[in-house]
Structure 1
Amino acid sequence: MAAATCYYGLMFTRKDSGNNVDSMRQYSCFRASKSRAIKALAAPTVSPPKRETNPKKRVVITGMGVVSVFGNDVNTYYEKLLEGQSGISLIDKFDASTFTVRFAGQIRDFSSVGYIDGKNDRRLDDCWRYCLVAGRKALDDANLSQQVLETMDRTKIGVLVGSGMGGLTTFSNGVEALIQKGFKKITPFFIPYTITNMGSALLAIDTGLMGPNYSISTACATANFCFNAAGNHIRRGEADIMVVGGTEAAINPTGVGGFIACRALSQRNDEPQKASRPWDQYRDGFVIGEGAGVLVMESLEHASKRGANIVAEYLGGAITCDAHHMTDPRKDGLGISSCISKCLDDAGVSPEEVNYVNCHATSTLAGDIAEVHAIKKIFKNTAEMKMNGTKSMIGHGLGAAGGLEAIACIKAINTGWLHPTINQDTLEPQVDIDTVPNVKKQHEVNVAISNSFGFGGHNSVVAFAPFTP
């Protein structure tokens, strides 16, 4: 589900297109409680941070797989992002002509040939089709073919691919069958293909991976929660390799209709490609997207022994909760800023080392600004920092967003180019950090962090860096 901080209180707040004033559409069941006072905070770290040096505990990235509105190839995906191309278009997966929002970051011409057999492909919810293809592509990219995997201890290789909403189309179709035809017409795949753990399960069944296997579902913070957990499995020696990320396929009548009911989506039906516009004064909500982003995370020791190609290092991550409200952030911003701070502590880096932030930046009124305020609270000098919003081009992939954005972070590290944040026409005056507006920029990334936030006040931040032996 879309993040709490995905909207940051924006959920029932929208700029009126006529007079450009805020109008509140606040339901009583969503009213925010007063922020709980925090009596004491942990004392700041006195000694300088230290990165992990033990090769058994250092976690590196050796493979990436993607299913996106720009296709299933990681390089093509990032090239389109660098070009500043919008993947937002009118919905044709279903008849949306009567919907007040009729556009999305919809995937077209998806192909699972060579990854899913035809019989299963016809049965599967798109959520799991995306997961299987992105997961298998990540394994291939890591040179972990089925033949190679069979030579390894597969009890030390785990899968952790989360989803915010699971098999939503399967669920919707099952409920429709129940209402219209009775329970005997519900498919036997209704429960298995709806529940959120099935992506990890199916990928493991397909590849024989017997290590840690489960799903995390924390709305739009899901994929980063998975990266954080997977990194800890490797650090504790419970796994040598984790196949990890997020997947989502909620562009259907239930998903789009539900977010319309929340008044969370942009309504620029006449200009869909300009609808997602993080930090722009005329943003009016997020654009729903879909897809999957999966990484192969591996201990440095294991990757070195098998001669793997290392594309980046995962330095650490953190998760926190606002403990405040289903959709609104804490007014003191403690949830996000403390998550960033804890991530840096876990990663062993100082704020001064971070020079790139891939932001949650959903194009919502309060959420975009709240995130910037939290960033400025932690990073006192942002003169050399750059931040961008991947969602400006692909929409908000919900539980898959962090996976798609982690790949963008790693490609930025590898290429030395940051993709633009498009539709930056009238920047909010409060945003005085370089958002890479409209055109890509060269930038040597030292340490990158990627932010994801979700309904319920779930906050997650992960850190990546170029790999140095």
Structure 2
Amino acid sequence: MRRVAVTGMGVVSPLGCSVAEVYGNAASGYFGIHRLKAPFSQRLNAPLAATVDFDAAAHFEPPKLRMLDRSSQFALVAARQAFADAHCDRDAVDPSRAGTFVGTGMGGSQSNDDGYQTLYGEASDRIKPFTILMGMHNASAAWIAVEHNFRGPSLTYSTACSSSAVAIGEAWLRIASSSLDLAIAGGTEAPLSFGSLKAWEALHTLATVDRDDPARSCKPFSKDRSGMVLGEGAAMVVLEPWDSAVARGATIHGEVLGYGVTTDIGHITRPSVEGQAQAMRAALQSAALEACAIDPINAHGTGTPANDGVETAAIKLVFGDRAYAIPVSATKAMHGHLLGATAALECVLSLLAMQHGVVLPTLHLQTPDPECDLDYVPNAIRTNTTVKTMLSNSFAFGGTNAVLVVRAAS
């Protein structure tokens, strides 16, 4: 198995639309959650969201823009950023050995929602001609492959909240096993349509509005947590063999060491301690690491009553007494839950944290929960600590749990 380097990163997110902006905001404790201002907001029980400040017309000509759902727009811009950051000569790579791996939970939900509004709400038969192309889950991966002439596998993974962890992990496997020489991998999501928000609301998993400050409504691991806040955005990484990256003098942002993916079969929405622990163990085994090699953990940390207690217990099961000495960050308090894109954003944040030698905070943790008693790096960034090797956890509805192991460049 070859070592796999991360040589490019791109982000379009509620924390910013560049890697530098995202890190600066995350390090300063900025949060992109706010009251949602939309025509339908008054029909939501808790009109909260983490949105992207994004002008699509600045990135795409009108003919192309008409064929792109918001999720594909995000994905294309993040991929462009990642390739520009990697400074790789794609002409030197056999296009048949370059692949595209994208995770999304809901695909082009805005385009599908618009179509249903036309068909049912307005009783019109005049559906937009590109509705299928915009709404299909594999649209983002297809557009990236077309734009960058990647003729190898173009694969889309839809495993709910773990989608982009699976995408990065599967891309890592292809590079490590010498099946490919270059890959773009990550995730994208634009789930803030009215239909999507009402459907999530019906599941009773969304946070209630904090009475003092709506921006503080997502509270992972806190006793008064009430649920997650949906967000939108995309994050992409460029992966290539370590030796090739070194030979061409590339800036290496970090290394993907391993990837564990398992299925929690207890319940389609309710996580289990053993299921999450199994995924973390599988990731460590894949990376050929003992548990003592892990420094911080980027937790799934959704802020839901069910997940956070289970994840805490799963970390204890894997790491034993040492769990209490491991810093655990839950960055969704800042950027919200981007569903299929979250794991990719959190992977990028983990790489950035290691580059800067810091552990990012878990914000809004003011009320300790006796069941959540680990070191969650409450409310402020932590410096002067060892940050070399990290786990990044992603646990999903449907039971597909995926964990990435990443390491600082050395």
Is the TM-score greater than 0.5? Answer: yes
1:202 matched residue in structure 2: 143
Taking the aligned partners of 1:98 and 1:182, their CA distance within structure 2 comes to 21
Does the 8 A contact of 2:9 with 2:83 survive in 1? yes
Q: How many residue pairs get matched?
A: 407
Amino acid at match of 1:135: A
Runs of 5+ unmatched residues, structure 2 = none
1:70 aligns with 2:15: yes
Pairing 1:279-428 to 2, within 5 Å after superposition:
279-330=221-272, 333-380=273-320, 381-428=322-369
Question: Does the Cα contact within 8 Å between 2:15 and 2:31 map onto a contact in 1?
Answer: no
Q: Matched residue of 1:215: which SS?
A: strand
Determine the structure 2 residue equivalent to 1:106. Answer: 51
The amino acid that maps onto 1:348 is: A
Q: Quick one: which amino acid aligns to residue 209 of structure 2?
A: R
Kindly provide the CA deviation profile for residues 25-51 of structure 1, in whole angstroms up to 9, marking residues without a partner as x: xxxxxxxxxxxxxxxxxxxxxxxxxxx
2:401 aligned counterpart, secondary structure: strand
Structure 2 Cα separation of the partners of residues 206 and 317 of structure 1: 28
1:438 counterpart = 2:382: no
Alpha-carbon distance, 1:119 to partner = 2.7
1:226 matches 2:167 = yes
Amino acid at match of 2:328: M
In structure 1, the partner of 2:208 is 267
Distance 1:117 1:153 in 2: 29
Q: Which residue of 1 aligns with 2:34?
A: 89
- Name the SS for the 2:296 alignment partner: strand
Distance 1:93 1:153, change over 3 A: farther
Distance 1:112 1:384, change over 3 A: farther
Distance change (3 Å), C-alpha of 1:364 and 1:434: same
CA contact (8 A) 2:10 2:82 kept: yes
- The C-alpha deviation readout for 1:140-182, integer Å capped at 9, x for no partner, is 11013xxx32343121111111110000011011122222566
Whole-angstrom distance in 2 between the partners of 1:454 and 1:214: 19
Quote how far apart the aligned CAs of 1:116 are.
Answer: 2.7
User: Could you tell me which amino acid in structure 2 is paired with residue 157 of structure 1?
Assistant: A
Measured against aligned partners, the alpha-carbon deviations of 1:61-100 in whole angstroms (never above 9, x if no partner) come to 0010000112211111111111111111111244311211
Answer whether contact 2:315 2:323 (CA < 8 A) is retained: no
Listed one character per residue, the Cα deviations across residues 403-427 of structure 1 (whole Å, up to 9, x for unaligned) are 1100110001100112211101011
8 Å contact kept, 1:327–1:457: yes
Letter in 2 for 1:297: L
For the residues of structure 1 that align with 2:359 and 2:24, how far apart are their CA atoms?
Answer: 11
Query: What SS class does the counterpart of residue 130 from structure 1 fall into?
Result: helix
Separation of aligned partners in 2, 1:224 and 1:320: 12
Following TM superposition, the consecutive aligned residue runs of length 4 or more in structure 1 with deviations greater than 3 angstroms are 109-112, 180-184
Q: Which has the higher mean CA deviation after the structures are superposed, 447-456 or 91-100?
A: 91-100
Q: Is the 8 A contact 2:271 2:306 kept in 1?
A: no
Distance 2:271 2:68 in 1: 36
Q: Mark the runs of 5 or more structure 1 residues left unpaired by the alignment.
A: 1-53
Q: Cα deviations across residues 228-248 of structure 1 (Å, max 9, x unaligned)?
A: 111111122221111001100
Structure 2 CA distance for aligned equivalents of residues 110 and 424 of structure 1: 33
Q: How far did residue 292 of structure 1 move? A: 0.6
Mean Cα deviation higher: 236-245 or 91-100: 91-100
> Hey, what's the Cα distance between the residues in 1 that align with 2:365 and 2:235?
26
Superposed CA offset, 1:113-145 (max 9, x none): 3x433332244211000000001101111013x
Matched residue type, 2:197: V
Deviations 1:418-457 (A, max 9, x none): 2211101011123332111111101321210000011111
Which residue pairs with 2:79 in the alignment? 135
Contact 1:418 1:441 in 2 (8 A): yes
Residue identity matched to 2:35: L
Give the structure-2-normalised TM-score. Answer: 0.96
Of Structure 1 and Structure 2, which has the larger fraction of its residues in helix?
Answer: 2
Shift of 1:355: 1.3
Take 1:156 and 1:335, find their aligned partners in 2: how far apart are those partners? 34
What is residue 217 of structure 1 aligned with on the other side? 158
Percent of paired sites with the same residue:
31
